[in-house]
Structure 1
């Protein structure tokens, strides 16, 4: 019977996947070369460059950009890759040490604290030493997710904080540090580093059967705190929102009363570096939100204000739906003659594909400058039209239309879920609620054009997307249409005045969109409303024409908008959501007229 493989991959063969991924790196960075047989990425030799200590790292694949994409000037000299989540062999490591890195000033090997990595890299190091090479090895264990009791003799696992060790040690080598100095830098950084991760799910490894190696999947609504980067279990599973989750993670990192996890004492007096790392499957938008929550709690609850903040994808667990937090306590590196600090080495440039920390030291120093954000007051003088309206009457009929539109939001959303991306109803509701709040809290001006200006400002501020832009253009043009009919002395605004302004506004809107009746857009409701109003001066008849036009969009194939390229079934049975929403608003107006 054929094995059932997880379908959600483009490349299912794990061996082919690793080789293909590695082969892409020299194409993206011409300073790199690939030893395909030994799955080693290394720097192209530059004979004219001064000799420096070489840095070698690596581990199982699936943690990209670690480690292969960290090879580059100012970072790793070479990286050795294993298969997915498995250490490279001792033979691969030995070959890299003997043939793929410059050895004149020695080689520092940095690996994470996993048994396979420590043993295989260790065997390679000992073989190189036996042949007379100067090689040192540093093992990084920064994870506090598993405490002293559970970790036992194995100690802490290595996770994303390792990237900080690599960057700072590599910069020390680039600046001319000796092998002993670079080793000491790596050990000092590792000793002042704590990290913890959390994930919403275990990951699936390409090529494996469903469920294979995925013990005890994380239940819906749960998060695993302290999960490792190879699907290893963490310390606990809990139901928590992001705020509570970050509270737990920071407590594990910083609480000195937790004897099982108090690996490093960090106080508000210490300078720190914060690294928030994406485990591979969290969107960039969501990661930015996570960073804001982490920073807010660090400063608010722990009085810790990091002097450097790094966020992004540094060490993944394939497409893991989680993130990790690392804190580095700035300490003296004892470099003496080099006179370099951790921060200077962290900020030093690196030409490596996976190092995404482009902010310079001088830019970071600007963060220390005091001063408040300049407040800008927008003063836009509105020109009156002298077209007077009954404020209370206008408020009453407008509110009626707004409330009917707000009530219709679930139906609009349902229709837009079928034919679009589901946001039309909430966008219309958001705009309607903003205008309703304006009418409730502010005095309605008696000038029709100024009244319309106020409404337009609410639409511009609270309605986004295509609908928001169309309505804003239309309403601005409508205000202009009123002002073209302005009088030298106050006169009442009439249906005929509104009708004429609406016709000119429709003409202005046509400059920005080619939509016409029959294209399945809001124009299928707007156009018949304006046309009927101009002919009859009867708002009820005009609103009924808009509703009829909206209903006619059922079964109408779209020619514009997202509906054009949204597939699926059911669009024949629902009206265009934008046209329907507008018709509901207009019907509400007419009922209160």
Structure 2
């Protein structure tokens, strides 16, 4: 767990985070003393849906306050329920009460007791108030859950959204209450995490046997660091398989809470517990959807993913499945209609409309016959055997140099230059083995360029692609009317043209500590001498000359640390190795 925080005072942290919500959404305001976010007056009369719980689960629940969702949310301290008095003030003083109030809470003892006490007080004063307790977690089964029952986790937000949307349509309290309860009863969730979280302001516990090992994942871990059902060493496919078994296996008597078949419409929510990158969450969503269809024949009609209910910076995720059930309220008030209905709350992040979901177009923009990328041959010829031999020697030398290039780039950059060059070199070698032999310069270069453009990314990949495309263009301009061998003079002229073209897209010049420090000497020497070997040696000297040279361009400009003066520019070194290999292959 990470114990480093920008704000270490938990009280200030909660208060300032709540205040930030009012800055992001002008339709809501804050009762700072009672930590209540509520919707400003001035909207049409409707049932008020309120919720809340301990802080640390943002955007739940305060950021779900807004038109079409919650009317108010009450926050406790981090991972602790708000008091009954806070909840009572929210019901009696901060939200509209005329058409009734629905309270939705997760099944945690403190929340149920404190919100329940406030509900009973409000009822005793004559108000129409109902409460729904959501327990969707299947991570802990019946035996371990006992009388407490299932915990409430991320699936709760689906209950809140559906109830809030129905309230916004003017439905009476009875309908809103029954629909919320129906949603909660058709909901199952399970989470998994790679580590526990650290609460700001608390001391860091001493390492113990209870800590998750580096390779372990805890299945069913609660959103307050509560233990789950098991710990396993598992990759993502295996983890998702286990989680879906806990959700859907009808033979598991301890965890089988809801029947979902392939005939049922379902909503899938993949929730980020706080520290999973957006990139990785996308991979998780893909794995979950694939396994649902492959192993369970379930194709969700709605898929939501993102941070809906976090556990501070929890390195984990949860899967929720909602079985779409008829509300009995008719068109516009069905579960999917209510889920898709717009909500002006900063924490709700489902932007796809009902119409788009229903159409589910399978159309793609295919390549038309008129868009053919077929490359026309030129009249410049080369020896295909010699070309393959020289290029193979150059590429193998680049691959052999990868450890050195990576080492240099680790010191002065982000360490990926060597891997990128090696990846491109290996891809071109494979192409040389598979491609149809050609003695046409334009076709030969086209095959190389296609590989460079698809296998090499980053700055180096773009530079090489621009340079090679310009090289091919220049050679075409020199193509004679009848087939003739390409000459060194033609190559030299084309290389000079390519340097000029490259200069339009990068300000890099000799002395800036880039691969240009090797490229310029090679092109210049070849133009003067026509000798590839001496030109490659000039490139090598140029690369060595970057030792101690202060960078003017590239990531090296921003990278600190020691040792950069003693190593050459990785890109220049890699290019020089390629050119030296090329000259050897031409011998």
Shorter-chain TM range is over 0.9
- The answer for the alignment partner of 1:116 in structure 2 is 110
Q: 5+ residue gaps in structure 2?
A: none
Query: Aligned partners of 1:442 and 1:213: how far apart in 2?
Result: 57
Query: Aligned partners of 1:117 and 1:108: how far apart in 2?
Result: 15
- The answer for the alignment partner of 2:366 in structure 1 is 374
- The answer for the alignment partner of 1:136 in structure 2 is 130
Counterparts of 1:300-339 in structure 2, within 5 Å, are 300-335=294-329
- The answer for the alignment partner of 2:30 in structure 1 is 34
Query: Aligned partners of 1:358 and 1:288: how far apart in 2?
Result: 16
Query: Aligned partners of 2:32 and 2:562: how far apart in 1?
Result: 48
- The answer for the alignment partner of 1:21 in structure 2 is 17
Q: Tell me the CA shift for residue 415 of structure 1.
A: 1.6
- The answer for the alignment partner of 2:250 in structure 1 is 256
Q: 5+ residue gaps in structure 1?
A: none
Kindly tell me the number of residue pairs found equivalent between the two proteins: 585
Counterparts of 1:90-489 in structure 2, within 5 Å, are 90-211=84-205, 216-335=210-329, 340-367=333-360, 369=361, 374=366, 379-489=372-482
Once the two structures are superposed, what CA deviation does each residue of 1:517-547 show, in whole Å capped at 9, x if it has no partner? 1111000111111111112211111111111
Query: Aligned partners of 1:13 and 1:448: how far apart in 2?
Result: 68
Is contact 1:6-1:209 (8 Å) kept? no
Q: Tell me the CA shift for residue 295 of structure 1.
A: 0.3
- The answer for the alignment partner of 2:540 in structure 1 is 547
2:531 is equivalent to residue 538 of structure 1? yes
Query: Aligned partners of 2:321 and 2:293: how far apart in 1?
Result: 13
Select between 291-300 and 454-463 the one with higher mean Cα deviation. Answer: 454-463
Query: Aligned partners of 2:173 and 2:577: how far apart in 1?
Result: 75
Query: Aligned partners of 1:215 and 1:232: how far apart in 2?
Result: 15
Once the two structures are superposed, what CA deviation does each residue of 1:378-412 show, in whole Å capped at 9, x if it has no partner? 52243433111001110110011111112222222
Query: Aligned partners of 1:100 and 1:12: how far apart in 2?
Result: 30
Is contact 1:148-1:260 (8 Å) kept? yes
Query: Aligned partners of 2:487 and 2:44: how far apart in 1?
Result: 84
2:4 is equivalent to residue 12 of structure 1? no
Q: Tell me the CA shift for residue 481 of structure 1.
A: 1.6
Query: Aligned partners of 2:233 and 2:2: how far apart in 1?
Result: 27
- The answer for the alignment partner of 2:490 in structure 1 is 497
Once the two structures are superposed, what CA deviation does each residue of 1:253-310 show, in whole Å capped at 9, x if it has no partner? 0000000000011110100000000000000000001000000000011000000000
Q: Tell me the CA shift for residue 372 of structure 1.
A: 7.0
1:379 and 1:412, CA in 2 relative to 1: closer, same or farther beyond 3 A? same
User: Which secondary structure state, in structure 2, belongs to the residue aligned with residue 38 of structure 1?
Assistant: coil
Query: Aligned partners of 2:281 and 2:159: how far apart in 1?
Result: 23
Is contact 2:332-2:338 (8 Å) kept? no
User: Which secondary structure state, in structure 2, belongs to the residue aligned with residue 333 of structure 1?
Assistant: coil
Is contact 1:214-1:231 (8 Å) kept? no
2:52 is equivalent to residue 61 of structure 1? no
Query: Aligned partners of 1:339 and 1:453: how far apart in 2?
Result: 56
User: Which secondary structure state, in structure 2, belongs to the residue aligned with residue 487 of structure 1?
Assistant: coil
TM-score scaled by structure 1? 0.96
2:74 is equivalent to residue 71 of structure 1? no
Is contact 1:555-1:573 (8 Å) kept? yes
Q: Tell me the CA shift for residue 175 of structure 1.
A: 1.1
Equivalent of residue 43 in structure 1, options 30, 39, 46:
39
Once the two structures are superposed, what CA deviation does each residue of 1:163-216 show, in whole Å capped at 9, x if it has no partner? 000000111111111111111011100000000000000000000111279982
Query: Aligned partners of 1:270 and 1:346: how far apart in 2?
Result: 17
1:509 and 1:6, CA in 2 relative to 1: closer, same or farther beyond 3 A? closer
User: Which secondary structure state, in structure 2, belongs to the residue aligned with residue 507 of structure 1?
Assistant: helix
TM-score scaled by structure 2? 0.97
Query: Aligned partners of 1:23 and 1:589: how far apart in 2?
Result: 64
Over 6 Å off, 4+ runs: 212-215
Is contact 1:420-1:562 (8 Å) kept? yes
Q: Tell me the CA shift for residue 7 of structure 1.
A: 5.3
User: Which secondary structure state, in structure 2, belongs to the residue aligned with residue 515 of structure 1?
Assistant: coil
Query: Aligned partners of 1:450 and 1:38: how far apart in 2?
Result: 73
Query: Aligned partners of 1:400 and 1:115: how far apart in 2?
Result: 71
Once the two structures are superposed, what CA deviation does each residue of 1:313-354 show, in whole Å capped at 9, x if it has no partner? 000000100000000001111226x76210000000000000
User: Which secondary structure state, in structure 1, belongs to the residue aligned with residue 494 of structure 2?
Assistant: helix
- The answer for the alignment partner of 2:571 in structure 1 is 578
User: Which secondary structure state, in structure 2, belongs to the residue aligned with residue 203 of structure 1?
Assistant: coil
The alignment's C-alpha RMSD in Å is 1.6
